[in-house]
């Protein structure tokens, strides 16, 4: 990923070199209706009048994307991915134009652009494209002209001028990538919560807001189902060291800073507990136990563009093995089709799936220097009579698959066991 151009502000343009450029991103809930759009406009103008240059990235209004997806579902169950991008990219066009109008009403200059208009170039993978480059020239000129620049998140274009979208939560990626390309002081992600918590407050009422979290921790939490920021946006933030604040658009609290790991962070063993109810477990029975078989199975799955998460293999006494793994529920239908093909190709047995599972995880950079963390987690589940089906670990994470109806109970038990609640 390039996005490595620096702003080329010249002398005598009236800004000076000490004026900070800030990228702000407002999610769909922050611009869900006219009143909220006006509130966002007021906040943006307040920041501008403090002397900052501003690039504002906006998501589609409220539930617009979901409504468009429902409309697609009423027409076809196999939509063209190209046409999906053409459709879904329209949501952000509405919100950026309305926000620009609201800022004009407050007496400030603003101009709205789509992703393609500001030169966000992506690969040709429709519905989940990756950013390759950003040509910041048009944004820089608009800033020199004294504008607040408003950019539609979630979208870009290929070198062949095809519209693409960046996947669910892609506006976060747009904002962080622009922060890098424009060498912003920092990137502010505004949402309807005050920051990042030790657990989902809707599941664990005693969850505590974190003042600071490392890129690695939030990447793990995002990949595990914590829906604060898109994991790919955190990858870009970490790679290019873009400081990111997650803040509420409803108040002026400091929020949570996502930044580089520091020694103080290691004092906290576990930073957060995550719950993911959006995965399903697939099991292939009686797979021949010989070299290369597993590789063939997972190559077929990968060729279908399906991401596999946790994997466990159970060897039997009959030169056969059972392989279980998890996939996103949204990909379950296509995954089952691919897995059945894979099982037949290696002369494996039947394939089953279980959608009634939950994945609970603990994350913390402090795990690197503390022992007994996993056993403490398993003990909390045992005390609450919650059975563990699968286990996966990394340097700063432990995940367990448990019965779906026990997921929330498991999160509360683990959160309490590690003393993560409000002091």
Sheet (strand 357-363) strand order: 272-276, 357-363, 397-403, 390-394
Polymer length of the chain: 423
Nearest alpha-carbon partner for 151 in 190, 95, 101, 112: 112
Q: What is the pLDDT of residue 12?
A: 34
Q: Distance between CA atoms of 34 and 17, rounded to whole angstroms?
A: 36
Q: Distance between CA atoms of 358 and 405, rounded to whole angstroms?
A: 8
Q: Distance between CA atoms of 314 and 323, rounded to whole angstroms?
A: 6
DSSP assignment of 19-88: SPEEEEEE-GGGGSSHHHHHHHHHHHHHHHHTT-EEEEEE--STTHHHHHHHHHHTT-SS--HHHHHHHH
Q: Distance between CA atoms of 369 and 354, rounded to whole angstroms?
A: 36
Nearest alpha-carbon partner for 364 in 275, 274, 270: 270
Q: Distance between CA atoms of 324 and 420, rounded to whole angstroms?
A: 32
User: Could you tell me the pTM of the whole model?
Assistant: 0.81
Q: Parallel, antiparallel, or unpaired for β 311-315 and 320-328?
A: antiparallel
Q: What is the pLDDT of residue 231?
A: 83
Token reading at 138? 């048009």
Q: What is the pLDDT of residue 317?
A: 65
Q: Distance between CA atoms of 154 and 6, rounded to whole angstroms?
A: 22
Which string of b and e fits 347-364 if b means at least 16 CB within 10 Å? ebeebebeeebbbbbbbb
Nearest alpha-carbon partner for 210 in 197, 192, 227: 197
Contacts of 264 (CB under 8 A, 6+ apart): none
Contacts of 87 (CB under 8 A, 6+ apart): 68, 72
pLDDT in tens, the chain (423 residues): 445 443 333 333 334 444 789 999 999 989 999 999 999 999 999 999 999 999 999 999 988 998 999 999 999 989 999 999 999 999 999 999 999 999 999 999 999 999 999 999 999 999 999 999 999 999 999 999 999 999 999 999 999 999 999 998 899 999 999 999 999 999 999 988 889 999 998 899 999 999 999 999 998 888 787 777 888 899 999 999 999 999 988 888 889 999 988 777 777 889 999 999 999 999 999 888 888 888 888 888 888 888 888 998 877 667 888 889 999 898 888 889 889 988 888 888 899 999 999 999 999 988 888 889 999 999 999 999 999 999 999 889 999 999 999 999 999 999 999 999 876
| Run of H or E including 102 | helix 90-105
Q: Is the CA virtual torsion 28, 34, 39, 42 positive or negative? A: positive
Q: Distance between CA atoms of 143 and 145, rounded to whole angstroms?
A: 5
Q: Distance between CA atoms of 6 and 19, rounded to whole angstroms?
A: 15
Q: Distance between CA atoms of 233 and 1, rounded to whole angstroms?
A: 12
CA distances for 313 relative to 10, 252, 321, angstroms: 61, 50, 7
Phi/psi of residue 282, each to 5°? -110, 135
Q: What is the pLDDT of residue 320?
A: 85
Q: Is the CA virtual torsion 39, 44, 49, 50 positive or negative? A: positive
Token reading at 363? 């994350």
- With 0-12 / 13-18 / 19 or more C-beta atoms within 10 angstroms meaning exposed / middle / buried, residue 162 is middle
Helices (H), 272-392: 293-303, 332-345, 373-383
Which string of b and e fits 211-240 if b means at least 16 CB within 10 Å? ebbbbbbbbbbbbbbbebbbbbbbbbbbeb
Q: What is the pLDDT of residue 8?
A: 37
Whose tokens are 């999160």? That residue is 411
Nearest alpha-carbon partner for 330 in 313, 350, 349, 306: 306
Q: Distance between CA atoms of 211 and 174, rounded to whole angstroms?
A: 24
């Amino acid at each position: 990923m390039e996005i490595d151009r620096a702003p080329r502000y010249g002398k005598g343009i009236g800004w000076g070199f000490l004026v900070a450029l800030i990228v702000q991103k407002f999610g769909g809930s922050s611009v869900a209706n006219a009143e909220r759009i006006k509130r966002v406009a007021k906040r943006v103008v307040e920041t501008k009048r403090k002397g900052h240059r501003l690039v504002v990235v906006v998501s589609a209004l409220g539930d617009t994307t979901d409504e468009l997806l429902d409309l697609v579902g009423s027409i076809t169950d196999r939509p063209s991915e190209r046409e999906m991008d053409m459709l879904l990219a329209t949501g952000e066009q509405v919100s950026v134009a309305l926000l620009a109008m609201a800022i004009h009403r407050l007496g400030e200059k603003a101009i709205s652009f789509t992703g393609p208009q500001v030169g966000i170039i992506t690969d040709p993978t429709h519905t989940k494209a990756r950013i390759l480059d950003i040509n910041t020239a048009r944004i820089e000129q608009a800033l020199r002209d004294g504008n607040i620049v408003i950019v539609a998140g979630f979208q870009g274009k290929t070198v062949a001028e095809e519209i693409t979208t960046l996947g669910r939560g892609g506006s976060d990626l747009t904002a962080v990538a622009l922060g890098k390309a424009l060498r912003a002081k920092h990137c502010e992600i505004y949402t309807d919560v005050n920051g990042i918590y030790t657990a989902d407050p809707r599941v664990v009422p005693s969850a505590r807001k974190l003042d600071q979290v490392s890129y690695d921790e939030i990447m793990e939490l995002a990949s595990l189902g914590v829906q604060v920021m898109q994991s790919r946006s955190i990858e870009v933030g970490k790679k290019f060291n873009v400081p990111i604040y997650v803040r509420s658009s409803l108040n002026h609290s400091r929020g949570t800073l996502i930044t580089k790991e520091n020694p103080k962070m290691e004092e906290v063993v576990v930073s957060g507990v995550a719950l993911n109810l959006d995965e399903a477990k697939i099991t292939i029975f009686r797979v021949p136990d010989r070299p290369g078989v597993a590789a063939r199975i997972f190559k077929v799955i990968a060729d279908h563009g399906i991401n596999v998460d946790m994997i466990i293999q159970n060897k039997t006494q009959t030169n056969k093995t059972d392989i279980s793994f998890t996939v996103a529920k949204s990909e379950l239908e296509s995954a089952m089709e691919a897995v059945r093909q894979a099982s037949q190709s290696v002369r494996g047995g039947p394939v089953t799936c279980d959608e009634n599972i939950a994945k609970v995880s603990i994350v913390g950079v402090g795990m690197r220097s503390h022992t007994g963390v996993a056993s403490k987690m398993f003990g909390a589940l045992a005390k609450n009579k919650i059975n563990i089906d699968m286990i996966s670990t990394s340097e700063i994470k432990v995940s367990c698959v448990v019965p779906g109806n026990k997921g929330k109970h498991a999160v509360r038990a683990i959160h309490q066991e590690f003393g993560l609640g409000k002091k």
